[in-house]
């Protein structure tokens, strides 16, 4: 029997168009995988909706009607992205019963391309603590790709486009200027196809940038000769010899294809996490003000007056971790402390963005290992989020469970094509290495 889980978007589209199987059959296969594995990666599985959508696509295909580039392709979205008539909790009791009356723009864009949303991926409350569920659903064949808040990992391919390229409308994030919607896929080619669908100007989002439409699949070429890559030597501390050897092999491959790789020292690393945490806490404290038990969301049952309603609702509905972030955020944006902490953090963010832009302009994309130490991975993600630069994270093995480390590349603003090109060449190297390993074992 054909293994549909090992096919990419283009291959699946072609097989469905030639009648090898239907959208409904593909959707059922993924839904069965979710049920059989019972890994509890989903908060909500929209089985009936997904199957009805698949049947509609099959009818359109039989009638010869035009279909989108993602017709019949199953995906999942994290529980902080609005989906019309589907429970969206953001992992919090405060929104335990919230059912949005609209789709996020990114979801709407994918539906226009006839993609099929299987359900909502579990996240930790407001994504204040990272988990890899958005990558795991792909690795475990519970979705072909996902939309999520960007988290660098070494399990699958994930990309965070430049800030402003993907609409934030309908994205219920902790912050307004840091978190961005990313996509995670099994392959770089799938990543480029999805980017073509989700990168679009949106007038409903004030941060959206009207950039000339690009076809990101054009970046999937072998030519990386002359491309510059910077290795930050102050972030190259490996947990074991296997990790160091793996990273060295990746660099050797890029150099063999003509990339110019040089070691540099990244400045002001000690400022990244404190600055990020101050801005995140301040923005979240401000954004969380609307969760008061009156407008929408959870409301405590017993209260004496409005003040008591606010207090009990927020005390009961937010976790201890979330309340700590809100309390710290209120402290740094308080009028007495604003200039000392929040305003200063904004100034440092501007300085960091300018310095790192100059580094990328001179030395090229910044390539680092991830999944070494939790704190180090947090620093790398903070760099990507604070600057708004695009970033890709990648595995270092086709057998993701065997990967000792992952990779992250940060590029220049609107430099998604360069990142995709490096990622594509790295992926080809992984595939070639796997083929050679199979032949040796045989």
Count of structural domains within the chain: 1
Burial class (CB in 10 A: 0-12, 13-18, 19+), 290: exposed
The yes-or-no verdict on residue 437 having pLDDT over 70 is no
Q: What is the pLDDT of residues 295-332, one digit of tens each?
A: 878 999 999 999 999 999 999 999 999 999 999 999 99
Instruction: Answer whether residue 68 shows pLDDT above 70.
Output: yes
Position 434 confidence tier, pLDDT thresholds 50, 70, 90: low
Section 383-395 average pLDDT: 94
In a domain, 282, yes or no: no
SS3 state at 130: coil
Tell me what the mean pLDDT of segment 104-109 comes to: 98
* pLDDT attached to residue 440: 41
* Position 355 pLDDT exceeds 80: yes
Report the C-alpha gap between 313 and 302 in whole angstroms. Answer: 9
Which pLDDT band holds residue 336 (cuts at 50, 70, 90)?
very high
276 is a domain residue: no
pLDDT at 400 over 80: no
Residue 67 CB contacts under 8 Å (≥ 6 apart), including other chains: 57, 60, 61, 114
Identify the weakest region by mean pLDDT among 261-270, 342-351, 402-411: 402-411
**Whole-number average pLDDT of the chain:** 92
Whether residue 353 is predicted with pLDDT greater than 80 in this model: the reply is yes
Structure tokens given for 368: 């680092």
Check residue 403 and give its pLDDT. 59
Helix (H, G, I), strand (E, B) or coil at 296: coil
Share of the chain above pLDDT 70, in %: 95
pLDDT interval class at 240 (50, 70, 90): confident
Rounded to an integer, the average pLDDT of 228-255 is 89
What's 198's domain CATH number?
Answer: 3.90.1300.10
* Residue 302, domain member (yes or no): no
pLDDT at 439: 38
Query: In this model, does residue 345 exceed pLDDT 50?
Result: yes
- Tell me if 151 is assigned to some domain: yes
Higher pLDDT, 436 or 135: 135
Q: Does residue 134 sit within a domain? A: yes
pLDDT at residue 74 above 50?
A: yes
For 19-23, 238-242, 252-256, 368-372, which range has the lowest pLDDT when averaged over its residues? 368-372
Q: Let me know if residue 238 belongs to a domain.
A: no
Residues 344-348 have a mean pLDDT of: 97
360-372 residue pLDDT tens: 999 999 999 886 4
The whole domain housing 186 covers 4-218
pLDDT band at 381 (very low <50, low <70, confident <90, very high): confident
Q: What is the pTM of this model?
A: 0.93
Q: How far apart are CA 232 and CA 44, in angstroms?
A: 41
The pLDDT, as a whole number, for residue 80 is 97
pLDDT the model gives residue 402: 52
What are the backbone angles phi and psi of residue 368, rounded to the nearest 5°?
-140, 155
| pLDDT classification of 441: cutoffs 50, 70, 90 | very low
* Res 442 pLDDT > 50: no
Is there a domain that residue 199 lies in?
Answer: yes
The answer to whether residue 341 sits within a structural domain is no
pLDDT given at position 426? 95
CA separation, residue 46 to residues 27, 28, 120, 328 (Å)? 11, 12, 8, 37
Reference 223, options 363, 418, 394, 412; nearest CA is 418
Q: Which two tokens stand for residue 73?
A: 């392709």
Res 438: pLDDT = 40
Closest by CA position to 23, among listed 74, 75, 72:
72
Q: Is there a contact between 240 and 404 (Cβ–Cβ < 8 Å)?
A: yes
Q: Render pLDDT for 141-196 as a digit per residue (tens, 0 to 9).
A: 999 999 999 988 888 999 999 999 999 999 999 999 999 999 999 999 999 999 99
Is the per-residue pLDDT at 376 higher than 80? no
Tell me what pLDDT residue 377 has.
Answer: 67
Is 2 a residue whose pLDDT tops 80?
A: no
Tokens representing 259? 């990339």
């Amino acid at each position: 029997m054909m293994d549909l889980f090992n096919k990419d978007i283009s291959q699946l589209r072609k097989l469905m168009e030639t009648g090898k199987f239907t959208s409904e059959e593909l959707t059922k296969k993924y839904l069965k995988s979710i049920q059989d594995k019972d890994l509890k990666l989903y908060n909500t599985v929209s089985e009936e909706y997904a199957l009805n959508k698949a049947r509609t696509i099959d009818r359109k295909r039989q009638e010869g009607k035009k279909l989108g580039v993602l017709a019949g392709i199953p995906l999942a979205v994290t529980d902080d992205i609005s989906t019309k008539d589907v429970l969206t909790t953001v992992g919090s009791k405060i929104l335990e019963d919230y059912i949005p009356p609209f789709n996020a723009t990114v979801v709407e864009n994918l539906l226009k391309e006839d993609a099929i949303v299987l359900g909502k991926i579990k996240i930790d409350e407001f994504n204040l603590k990272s988990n890899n569920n958005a990558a795991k659903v792909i690795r475990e064949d519970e979705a072909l790709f996902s939309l999520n808040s960007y988290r660098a990992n070494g399990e699958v391919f994930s990309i965070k486009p430049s800030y402003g390229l993907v609409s934030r409308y309908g994205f219920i994030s902790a912050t307004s200027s840091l978190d961005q919607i990313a996509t995670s896929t099994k392959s770089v080619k799938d990543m480029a196809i999805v980017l073509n669908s989700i990168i679009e100007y949106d007038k409903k989002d004030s941060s959206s940038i009207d950039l000339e439409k690009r076809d990101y699949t054009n970046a999937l070429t072998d030519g990386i000769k002359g491309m510059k890559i910077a290795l930050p030597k102050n972030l190259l501390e490996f947990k074991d010899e296997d990790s160091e050897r793996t990273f060295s092999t990746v660099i050797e491959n890029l150099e063999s294809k003509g990339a110019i790789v040089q070691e540099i020292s990244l400045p002001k690393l000690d400022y990244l996490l404190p600055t990020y945490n101050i801005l995140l806490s301040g923005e979240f404290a401000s954004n969380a003000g609307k969760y008061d038990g009156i407008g929408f969301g959870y409301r405590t049952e017993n209260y004496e007056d409005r003040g008591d309603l606010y207090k009990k609702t927020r005390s009961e509905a937010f976790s201890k971790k979330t309340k700590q972030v809100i309390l710290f955020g209120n402290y740094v944006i308080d009028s007495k402390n604003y200039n000392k902490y929040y305003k200063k953090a904004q100034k440092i963010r501007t300085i960091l963005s300018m310095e790192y832009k100059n580094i990328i302009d001179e030395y090229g994309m910044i390539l680092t290992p991830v999944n070494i130490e939790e704190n180090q991975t947090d620093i790398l993600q903070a760099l990507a989020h604070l600057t708004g630069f695009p970033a890709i994270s990648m595995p270092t093995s086709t057998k993701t469970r065997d990967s000792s480390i992952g990779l992250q590349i940060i590029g220049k603003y609107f430099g998604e094509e360069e990142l995709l090109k490096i990622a594509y060449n790295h992926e080809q190297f992984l595939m070639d290495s796997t083929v050679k390993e199979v032949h040796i074992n045989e």
